[in-house]
């Protein structure tokens, strides 16, 4: 969710050290009627005045999920039909109560809810569990099974891996907001999952949230900071921060047009092209330096290229292609 039109702000991953705000997630079709109660009385809307009866008292009989939502919230429209369906399929093990926080903000404020959609499970009159964000249907069902005392039979590790794969697919397709939502869902279940923390940081970098990523990286627990995924993020952030100080790429191009052997200018341009996402161009600049002068900056072009490989990963097409060219230069 973006901050525009969202008076409650928006953050992914409650365990992060910095809030990350993203563009509006793609909205699913809205329910036919926000106030409609499906047959069986398992789902209903409530108010501040009715909260004690509808939630606190009712949760002494069976768990009650409270879905905090607002009409302007796209992810809320994604989650509502999913959670309603899951509650009805649970056949009375849990109930769902929906609260529009635009009309009734007091309860959400008392619970410290900063982002929606947010779902809080009440048991015996008290909050017992919860999650934020538009979780996929499988995770919503797993949450309800756990809350209702049923063995969902799902392998949580396998489930997390599946969600991580889906999040990566969305990221690769350019849907950074959707990707971040899924990474945040994983973090709800496993706050120190390195792939999820790194994934959400990558989404921030893609949306130029550099300062927030710096806060995250600097605030990581020691073990999490040592994870390969987080080290790659930290290195990528360093490259971005360095590139900001290297000057105007147009001016560097002009310098090279006047003097193609200006290796210092070419090295700077390679670093800038890398953070612009022009990986093949960045690699080609470094490879050209190596062809002309391996002694420049104590073999600095090769060392810089190897650093790029570490961030890009061994399976990246740019890494594979540049490694082949590098081998040709080294062993020619």
Q: How big, in percent rounded to 5, are the helix, strand and coil portions of the chain? A: 55, 10, 35
Q: By CB neighbour count within 10 A (0-12 exposed, 13-18 middle, 19+ buried), where does 314 fall?
A: exposed
CA distances from 38 to 33, 43, 45, 323 (A): 10, 6, 11, 59
Residue 43: what pLDDT? 93
Residue 214: what pLDDT? 93
- Would the pTM count as exceeding 0.75? no
3-state secondary structure at position 65: strand
Residue 26: what pLDDT? 30
Instruction: Enter the tokens of residue 95.
Output: 């109930």
Residues found in the chain: 332
Taking 50 as the pLDDT cut, the residues of the chain under it are 1-40, 150-154
Domains and CATH numbers, the chain: 43-147 (3.40.30.10), 166-232 (1.25.40), 249-330 (1.25.40.10)
Alpha-carbon span 329 to 332, nearest angstrom: 5
CB 297 within 8 A of CB 267: yes
Residue 18: what pLDDT? 26
Residue 149: what pLDDT? 62
Alpha-carbon span 187 to 193, nearest angstrom: 7
3-state secondary structure at position 68: strand
Instruction: Enter the tokens of residue 291.
Output: 């062809």
Give the catalytic positions in this structure. 73, 76
């Amino acid at each position: 969710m973006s901050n525009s039109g969202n008076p409650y702000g928006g953050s992914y991953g409650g365990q992060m050290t910095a809030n990350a705000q993203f563009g509006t997630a793609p909205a699913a079709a809205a329910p036919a009627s926000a106030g409609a109660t499906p047959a069986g009385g398992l789902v209903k809307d409530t108010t501040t005045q009715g909260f004690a009866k509808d939630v606190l008292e009712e949760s002494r009989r069976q768990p009650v999920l409270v879905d905090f939502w607002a009409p302007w919230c796209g992810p809320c429209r994604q989650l509502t039909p999913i959670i309603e369906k899951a509650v009805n399929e649970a056949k009375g093990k849990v109930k769902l109560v929906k609260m529009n926080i635009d009309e009734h903000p007091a309860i959400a404020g008392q619970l410290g809810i900063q982002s929606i959609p947010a779902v809080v499970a009440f048991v015996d009159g008290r909050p017992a569990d919860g999650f934020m964000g538009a979780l996929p249907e499988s995770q919503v069902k797993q949450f309800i099974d756990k809350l209702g005392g049923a063995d969902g039979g799902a392998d949580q590790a396998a489930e997390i891996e599946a969600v991580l794969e889906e999040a990566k697919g969305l990221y690769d397709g350019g849907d950074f907001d959707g990707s971040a939502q899924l990474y945040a869902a994983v973090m709800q279940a496993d706050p120190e999952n390195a792939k999820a923390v790194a994934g959400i940081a990558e989404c921030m970098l893609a949306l130029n949230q550099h300062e927030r990523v710096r806060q995250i990286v600097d605030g990581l627990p020691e073990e999490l900071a040592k994870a390969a995924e987080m080290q790659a993020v930290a290195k990528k952030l360093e490259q971005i921060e360095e590139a900001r100080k290297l000057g105007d790429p147009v001016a560097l191009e002009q310098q090279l047009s006047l003097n193609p052997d200006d290796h210092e200018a070419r090295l700077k341009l390679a670093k800038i092209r890398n953070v612009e996402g022009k990986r093949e161009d960045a690699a080609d600049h470094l490879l050209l330096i190596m062809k002309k002068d391996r002694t420049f900056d104590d073999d600095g072009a090769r060392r810089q290229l190897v650093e790029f490989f570490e961030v890009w990963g061994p399976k990246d097409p740019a890494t594979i292609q540049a490694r082949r060219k590098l081998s040709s230069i080294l062993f020619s």
